[in-house]
A and B are shown apart, each in its own frame.
Chain A
Amino acid sequence: MSETMNALQKKAEAMLTADHCLSCTSCMSSCPVMEASKEYRGPKLVGPAHNRMRFSQEDVEESLDFCSNCKSCDRACPSGVEVSTLNMLHRAEYYRTHPHSQRDDMLAHGERMAKRVRMLPFGATFANLGMKIGKCFGIFGSMGIAGERDMPAYASSSFLSMFKGISQKPSEKKVVFYPGCFINENDPEVGVAFVKVMQKNGYEVLVDEKFNCCGSPLVVTGYLDEALEHAHNNVARILEWKKKGIPVVACCTSCSLMLKKEYGELFDEEEMKEAATNVYDAFEFLAMLEEEGKLNTEFKSLSQSLLYHVPCHLKSQGFGTPAARILGKIPGVKVELADAGCCGMSGNYGFKQDKYEISMKIGEELFGRIKTANADKVISDCGTCRLQIQHGGHVEPCHPIEILEKAY
């Protein structure tokens, strides 16, 4: 065992929680990957059980690669074992001695790629064209990226540049919006809707260009050192805002989970836990306003039936499903929970060619629900869940905040 691992073993919070495992197997029975594929030996074995045996020899648990970090195991665990985080730590340990593939490098570094694209005039247009051509010629396929999928297209302008054009009513009450890579580069409309919703509730929205990618795509592909750099930067920024009494709010549930929870589980630094108290998911924040009777509920009638797919990473934050409740208050809106488990996408997992089939198999239940529910709109807080819904459910989903925005 390497010295870093030895230190990690003794220190990382997730490692300590491994000791809480009762071997009860709840995680195995709720793991969507295990249900879809016999190749994954399952969270209990790969996580806490093998963790105890690592002292014996240098070895590799091949099936660790199958964990999608959807965190179903963590939620199922009655003893608070952070199984998926354990897996991510072990994956990172693996990549300390093994080279990354070009594909993983690309999937992990979306932020870096986007920055390059944005530096060129019409970069987004050319990049999108390039991705289409690349797909046609099977270049992505040869890299190990699922050729069946479209890579998410770049929006013609990023959220941060669109934000500059939004004129806001100034207010004493402020929040900092953390857009995250997907909203900033691919789906800026979600961010714009968030700003409008907050304005309707008397808040002025700020952005902080010094934030960088939360690190979620880095963590799941084993670039843990880089993720730590991101964590240090972001945590320092969050604490800076905390000092000023301004909360940080995100619309992407994987970003908010990383900022609130996974930093602490992975790296176990005090500042991370302190910063976590200043980060909110958008609907978590709106629910707090609602509780205080401060949520603006002067809604227009919308007459829409919604099917709500609750992202795994929202469930892991443990604040229920306030989006369903709040949207349900809009006259004419009916919200139904899809209750179909994980969608199978899990960030960049479903983009991997060798995981595509598993990803689609996991998504089958949700796709079936979408078909039978026949709702006017499918909603989901997570960007990559929406990509999966689009791909496998053949509908155009949106973020719940976009519905709320329409109701004002």
Chain B
Amino acid sequence: MSVCYKLFVYFKEHKYYGKQKLSGKGEWMMEKATVVVIGGGATGVGILRDLAMRGVDVLLVEKCDLVNGASSRYHGLLHSGGRYAVKDQEAARECIIENQILRKIGKSCVEATGGMFVRLDIDDPDYEPQWVKGCADSGIKAEPITLEQAFRLEPLLSKHVVSAYLVPDAAIDGFRMSWQNVESAKRYGGRFKTYREVVDVLQQNGEIQGVTVRNTITGEIEEIACDILVNAAGGWAGKVAALAGLEVGVQPDKGTLLAFNQRITSHVVNRLHKSSDGDIFVPHGSITILGTSSMSIPDPEDTSTSREEVENLLSIGEKTFENLRDYRMLRAFAGSRPLYMPPGGASGRGASRGFAIVDHGKDDGLKGMMTIVGGKFTTYRLMAEKISNQICEKLNVKEPCRTAEEPLVPEVAENDKKEARKYFPAYGTDLAATRLGPERFSRVVEDLKSHPEKRELVCECENVTLAEVEEIAKELSSFQINDIRRRTRIGMGTCQANFCALRSAAVFAKCGRDKGAKDSLGQMKQFLQGRWKGIRPVLVGRTLREIEMTRALYELSFHVDGGKKA
């Protein structure tokens, strides 16, 4: 019965709810794109932008919201390449080149903090000259500074630092970067669909026909036809390949990170030793991220973190910043690096951080399908350029890649920001401008101007106004409060949604376009659960006090569980 029922549902949905249109001849016509990209991570959005800019008809599908995998569950570090200067100079060279490009094209998502490499007295002194040489050979400017300078720039550094260098590391916001790539692609006709999971790869006579996707919110099924299918699913690339009956070796390698409530550092601070766990601090907006670890896991969906992992990171991190434990942890989070495993390759930190492009037409006889896997966030643009070059060759498109020259999004003009300051809360204008971009920013400013009540903050910790939350809540791509969170930073500060969960649920119910937005209680609970997931492993000290207040508010005062026994 169940098979019959599924078939019934499948056809029913195709007919009544699918996105297909009736063509003039009376045939069902499916949605079509020349290229379909699977995966809304850094690589996927990079390809979407690159191809769209070259005039290719391209559509991206992502099973969750954008950058839900490794591309946001990471340090937020735009590598200078210093990290790879000894072990992998090719990667180091790629990093410094891409670092310079992203600083130029991504002014609204890159914060040019600069980086510092510090060697502690416990670190191998022989590594330092190797590293200095490695940087020089890779074209990375590593400027030695005195300890006095180092402590002035980073007053909290451990007094066990014995040498320090400045490098051009920077911080990059993965959420903003991805959305800005999508915004850029949209200007050139690129399309994207989030919450669409690929459930089948359609092929005929060894040629790609398209994909079947399932709307993960409504369960609707639809088919999208394409000539070329790009598997950029990161940790899930093996699963997508399997749908096409192919094999791609991807080893999810989990990295756990800790977010602290303050900017403990002003620079990215790296330990000057052989790359290891917990040795990089990144000042990421209002917070600091410490990480990471490296652990092979079977399932990329596993983003769990444990108290042991947190303890491990703290005990390493406090070597660089001795008073680290005095600082409030906000949460722990984890993501999986999709390490490409060519047959017989190394794993974990030994595995290459390089990337691979597989043309399944050549290798497996499935024409039109390609996989891109591995690599680093910092080099996402280069990866996108390389595979787009191959795609364009197949499509006979002659347009060259322009992603390195054109800014991702236009910047909000200085004058407009200055003018807007009187409507924004203090310290709120510039960040809102980089999050929103010129068009949305001017709409939000107009709203703040004409409705002074919308200057109220929905999120007091991250300084987000009601007008901005409404603007993003109205977007067609906002299906959950979490989608609004990733674009505005609501709920990502000190109180971890304690105060804004309630408020944002109300805003979303009022402004959200998706009918699911009306389920305020469900939305709010889902939002809070997401926050609590990251808080559980750091439930000590003040974080514990914070969560007790949250529990008192939501479970006692608001009675959100309706009195059900656990």
Q: Which residues of A contact B (CB under 8 A)?
A: 3, 6-7, 10-11, 16, 18-25, 41, 44-45, 48-50, 52-57, 59-62, 78-79
Contact = CB atoms under 8 A, between A and B. Distances in A.
Contacts of B428: 53, 56
Nearest to A78: B545
Contact of A20 (B462, B463, B542): B542
Contact of A23 (B152, B430, B460): B460
B286 A53 contact: yes
A50 B545 contact: no
A82 to B, nearest CB: 15
Contacts of A57: 427, 429-431
A23 B545 CA distance: 11
Contact of A22 (B327, B427, B549): B549
Chain A CB within 10 A, most for which of B156, B426, B463:
B426
Given A6-B266, A7-B155, A54-B427, A19 B421 contact: no
Given A10-B155, A49-B461, A56-B427, 11 more contacts: A18-B262, A20-B328, A23-B494, A23-B495, A41-B425, A45-B425, A50-B426, A52-B261, A52-B263, A54-B427, A55-B263
B543 to A, nearest CB: 9
Contacts of A3: 152
Contact of A19 (B327, B429, B499, B549): B327
Interface in B275-317: 283, 285-286
A48 B421 CA distance: 21
Given A44-B460, A45-B460, A61-B426, A52 B328 contact: no
A16 B421 CA distance: 28
B553 to A, nearest CB: 10
A20 B545 CA distance: 10
29 contacts: A7-B152, A10-B155, A11-B155, A19-B262, A19-B326, A19-B327, A20-B328, A21-B494, A22-B494, A22-B495, A23-B499, A23-B546, A24-B549, A25-B499, A45-B460, A49-B461, A52-B261, A52-B263, A52-B286, A52-B461, A52-B493, A52-B494, A56-B430, A57-B427, A57-B429, A57-B431, A59-B421, A59-B426, A79-B542
B463 A53 contact: yes
Interface string B57-79: 00000000000000000000000
B379 interface: no
Closest 9 CB pairs of A and B: A23-B495, A61-B426, A10-B155, A53-B427, A57-B430, A52-B286, A22-B546, A59-B426, A59-B427
B152 A79 contact: no
Nearest to A42: B460
B520 interface: no
A60 B426 contact: yes
B461 A23 contact: yes
Interface string B457-492: 100111100000000000000000000000000000
Interface string B121-156: 000000000000000000000000000000010011
A41 to B, nearest CB: 8
A258 to B, nearest CB: 26
A56 B432 CA distance: 10
A91 to B, nearest CB: 13
Contacts of B457: 45
B498 interface: yes
A59 B422 CA distance: 11
Contacts of B261: 19, 52
Contacts of B494: 21-23, 48-49, 52
A40 B374 CA distance: 52
Contact of B328 (A6, A19, A59): A19
Contacts of A55: 263, 266, 283, 285-286
A381 to B, nearest CB: 34
Given A11-B155, A19-B262, A79-B545, A59 B460 contact: no
A19 B288 CA distance: 12
Contacts of B431: 53, 56-57
Given A49-B494, A55-B263, A16 B326 contact: yes
Contacts of B546: 22-23
Contacts of B328: 19-20
Contacts of B498: 23
Contacts of B263: 52, 55
Contacts of A25: 499
A42 to B, nearest CB: 10
Contacts of A79: 542, 545
Given A45-B460, A56-B430, A22 B545 contact: yes
A61 B549 contact: no
B326 A49 contact: no
Contacts of A10: 155-156
Contacts of B545: 22, 78-79
A349 B493 CA distance: 33
A265 B481 CA distance: 40
A23 B460 CA distance: 9
Nearest to B287: A52
A57 B285 CA distance: 11
A41 B262 CA distance: 21
B80 to A, nearest CB: 20
B463 A49 contact: yes
A45 to B, nearest CB: 6
Nearest to A18: B262
Given A16-B326, A21-B494, A23-B460, A62 B426 contact: yes
Contacts of A19: 261-262, 326-328
A59 B542 contact: no
A13 to B, nearest CB: 12
A57 B429 CA distance: 8
Interface string B23-60: 00000000000000000000000000000000000000
Nearest to A41: B425
A298 to B, nearest CB: 50
A226 B421 CA distance: 32
B401 to A, nearest CB: 33
A12 to B, nearest CB: 11
A11 B157 CA distance: 12
A52 B430 contact: no
A219 B428 CA distance: 27
A54 B426 CA distance: 9
Nearest to B327: A19
Contacts of A61: 426-427
Nearest to B434: A56
A61 B428 CA distance: 10
A48 B546 CA distance: 15
Nearest to A51: B262
Nearest to A63: B426
A44 B283 CA distance: 23
Contacts of B430: 56-57
A10 B326 CA distance: 12
Chain B CB within 10 A, most for which of A10, A16, A19, A53:
A53
B354 to A, nearest CB: 34
A50 B156 CA distance: 21
A18 B542 CA distance: 12
Chain B CB within 10 A, most for which of A3, A19, A48, A54:
A19
Contacts of B493: 49, 52
A168 B525 CA distance: 73
B155 A49 contact: no
A56 B286 CA distance: 8
Chain A CB within 10 A, most for which of B152, B494, B499:
B494
Nearest to A11: B155
Contacts of A6: 155, 266
B460 A49 contact: yes
Contacts of B427: 50, 53-54, 56-57, 59, 61
A8 to B, nearest CB: 10
A57 B463 CA distance: 13
A20 B425 CA distance: 23
A52 B262 contact: yes
A21 B262 CA distance: 11
B170 to A, nearest CB: 14
